[in-house]
Amino acid sequence: METAQVPAGATGVIEIDLAQIRANWRTLAKRVAPAGCAAVVKADAYGLGAKRIIPTLYEAGCRNFFVATQTEAQTAIALAPGATIYVLDGVMPGCTHEMAALGVRPVMASLDEARAWAALATSAACAPPAALHVDTGLNRLGMSEADFAALVGDEQLVGRLDIAMLISHLACADDARHAMNREQLVAFNRLRARLPKARASLAASDGLMLGKEFHFDLVRPGYALYGGQAAEQRAPVQPVVRVSARILQVQDVPAGAHVGYAASYCAPSPRRIATVAAGYADGIFRHASAANAETGGAVAIRGKLAPIVGRVSMDLITVDITDVGDPAPVRGDFVDLIGPELPLEAVGAAARSIGYEALTRLGARFHRHYVDHGD
């Protein structure tokens, strides 16, 4: 990690490689061509900072962005001039005129939304462009097939809409062998045939690895842009984040001493324990805690893994550094929470979760340090 530009008082740092984000987007764009490649930048660009990430992706050539909310769309507009912004949560009741004025595209998921958006049509023009989210089996968000049939069968309603994109989302794309991928593809093609003029988008980060037939007109990677590798078939991307925190104290504890809340860990022999300045308030999984009967998460120190011992608390974790070797870690040293030896997926799995959560839960107390060594 580059520490020269990190504030001296920073106890935790997220190093974000902007050049690698550009490289990841360009790699995925090349892989899915001739389909287009968007970028999902919801949740403050997965916690990495939309105000830096969106311009970086725009510089790479991205001109289609997906956010979750209208508020996120307002941020994206200023950072990506002329780009097309899609709002995945659609348009909230009473907000149609406000969203239309922004010039962004709601991803409508219900007949009520479609009717409200169609009300913006005039005698001279249909409503502004929007996307339509159809459910093909995830049963989370999206218009049912019955409601979709009602929409396309209502000539007056569909005639007042400019449905620029038909969207669905895969439930099991991280497992290339799962039968549901094919089932959803068939369902999406069936619905798409009812709106042949609309562009289509089905695949996100994992789905784009399923093959060309899943790409349609536009793919929507998010997690993969930031180095995430959830699918069994690995995306051709590289990590972009390294998360580190400082050691606050090092102490030797005797055999039989307890470490952390609830005395859940008892030292089996004399151990050297480092207390590190990161806890669940910073996004460290509490499930990364470890007791004698079960292992938890780990940190990396100079390339060696050191296990978390005891309970993860609000601001602190305790780590067994007995076997790290020389030179012995000391107060002020950084340890890696996410990095070369601890990829996102491993961090998530150690806490019985996923890499997506490990990335997006990182807290505001981490100093975000952006590096850019050029393309």
Tell me which residues are annotated as active site. Answer: 42, 261
**Beta strands at 199-201 and 367-371: parallel, antiparallel or unpaired:** unpaired
Instruction: Enter the tokens of residue 16.
Output: 């974000």
CA nearest to 171, candidates 155, 189, 157, 185: 185
Write 352-358 long-range contacts (CB < 8 A, 24+): 352/287, 353/285, 353/287, 354/230, 355/223, 355/228, 355/229, 355/230, 356/46, 356/223, 356/228, 356/230, 357/285, 358/283, 358/285
Instruction: Enter the tokens of residue 176.
Output: 């290339």
Residues 337 and 13: beta-carbon distance below 8 Å: no
> Measured between alpha carbons, how far is 21 from 223 in angstroms, rounded to an integer?
11
> Measured between alpha carbons, how far is 16 from 239 in angstroms, rounded to an integer?
9
What dihedral do alpha carbons 32, 37, 40, 45 form, nearest 10°?
Answer: 100
CA nearest to 305, candidates 258, 353, 340: 340
**Beta strands at 162-167 and 199-201: parallel, antiparallel or unpaired:** parallel
Q: Which residue has the tokens 């000539």?
A: 155
**Residue 1 CB contacts under 8 Å (≥ 6 apart), including other chains:** 13, 15, 242, 244, 334, 336, 339
